[in-house]
Amino acid sequence: MMISPPALGLRCEPIDVVRIGLIGLGQRGLQTLRRYTFVEGAEMCCLANLDDSSFEEANALLRTSGRSEALCFYGETAWQEMCRRNDLDLIYICTDWSSHARMAVEAMRCGKHVAVEVPAATTVEECFELVRTAEATRRHCFMTENCCYDWFSLAALELRDAGFFGTITHCEGAYIHDWRNRFSEGSHGAQTWYKTSCWHGGNPYPTHGIGPIAQLLGIHRGDRFSHLVSVTGQAAGVESLLGHGNTTLLTTERGVTVLLQFDGTTPRPYSRIQAVCGTEGFARKYPLVQVQHESDLFEGEVAEAFLRKYMRGPAADLWREGSERGVPNEMNYAMDCRLIYCLRHGLPLDIDVYDAAEWSCLAELTQISARRGGERVDIPDFLNLHF
């Protein structure tokens, strides 16, 4: 008899008001704090950072929005001290990605639910540890992949359910973003992050591209990623930061192919591609919104208007709500509000620990394949660790 994985469809006790401890007050952490001034049913109760330089700005944001100031902890072990508190429900991790998995595991072991920035882990072993810990503690581990709440992604899910694509045979996703001017600007941490990413050797930042595709294909909900091959160019030489774009081809057990790209060092315009190919229909967001069904082709504003008619469901309603409220980013607002709503009502989360592991493990697996000249690499089945 098949046993359902312990954290699949996980439901926990409803939480009336979600009390949050936020780790990391860099650019992303402060952005998260600012977003949560719009989110109902949640309180930013505690902040942890390596130093105390951002606490005044953070609490000023809370005061200005009419919320209570947060307790502040700083130092190397501040985040651990915060995780051990008994008056928090959710630990929100906005640190450098090398610490994501370690902090998430500790927080779950302390009985806290976790929201962790992307990628949730940087190695396959860290992904296994996230899954094992979530299953053992029965705590949620939500990776904050906001691109799953992009208006196009939400519309594509509805089009799939309506049968618009027919049988989906191929998808394409990417993170293409010109970072060249950031190698020498900003903080030392930002410089290190960008440079390390470009020298990674594979795709260090796969979740923006793969997340919406995985949800569209029902990964670990009827299909799974089977294997990949990956290559990385060295257009400007091994020692150069420029031209190290990565291309990965994944295949699912059902035979669907996925093209995934990463490029942060050439003048290509920003793109996540977001292409869906089926036997009856096609849709793509970048560089031009296009929709084709049989012989009918729509492009640009006409295609976007067509797609937006298919934005339905709770997340889509929140996206529109965010737009009406003038929040800085509608997909972040929809993501945060959905997370809090599900925690408050004891519902399974839109993105679970298996998603976090399956999408994040690609960072190491693409690196392995690319460094071996495009060798095939199998992708673990994270749902079957307990068999």
pLDDT tens digits, one per residue of 222-233: 999 999 999 999
Beta strand extents in the chain (DSSP E only): 18-23, 42-49, 71-74, 90-93, 113-116, 141-143, 168-176, 225-232, 246-252, 257-263, 275-278, 281-284, 290-293, 296-299, 377-378
According to DSSP, the β-strands at 296-299 and 71-74 are: unpaired
What pLDDT is recorded for position 1?
45
Checking if the pLDDT of 35 tops 90, the result is yes
Structure tokens at 36: 């949560």
Q: What's the one-letter identity of residue 115? A: A
Checking if the pLDDT of 2 tops 80, the result is no
Q: What is the pTM of this model?
A: 0.96
Q: What's the one-letter identity of residue 113? A: H
Q: Region 69-86: what's the mean pLDDT?
A: 98
- Domain 147-311+359-378: give its CATH superfamily: Dihydrodipicolinate Reductase; domain 2 (3.30.360.10)
- The CATH topology of domain 18-145 is Rossmann fold (3.40.50)
Q: Region 252-275: what's the mean pLDDT?
A: 97
Q: Which residue has the tokens 């190698």?
A: 183
Q: What is the largest CA-CA distance in the chain?
A: 61
Average pLDDT, the chain: 95
Is pLDDT larger for residue 188 or for residue 95? 95
What pLDDT is recorded for position 172?
99
Q: Are 19 and 88 in contact (CB under 8 A)?
A: yes
According to DSSP, the β-strands at 257-263 and 168-176 are: parallel
- Residues recorded for the chain: 387
For the chain, residues classed under CATH 3.40.50.720 are 18-145
264-313: pLDDT as tens digits: 999 999 999 999 999 999 999 999 999 999 889 999 999 999 999 999 99
157-201: pLDDT as tens digits: 999 999 999 999 999 999 999 998 887 766 666 667 778 888 899
Q: CB-based burial of residue 239 (10 Å sphere; 0-12 exposed, 13-18 middle, 19+ buried)?
A: exposed
Percent residues over pLDDT 90 in the chain: 88
* Cα–Cα distance for residue pair 204/191, rounded to 1 Å: 15
What pLDDT is recorded for position 187?
62
324-382: pLDDT as tens digits: 999 989 999 999 999 999 999 999 999 999 999 999 999 999 999 999 999 999 999 99
For the chain, residues classed under CATH 3.30.360.10 are 147-311+359-378
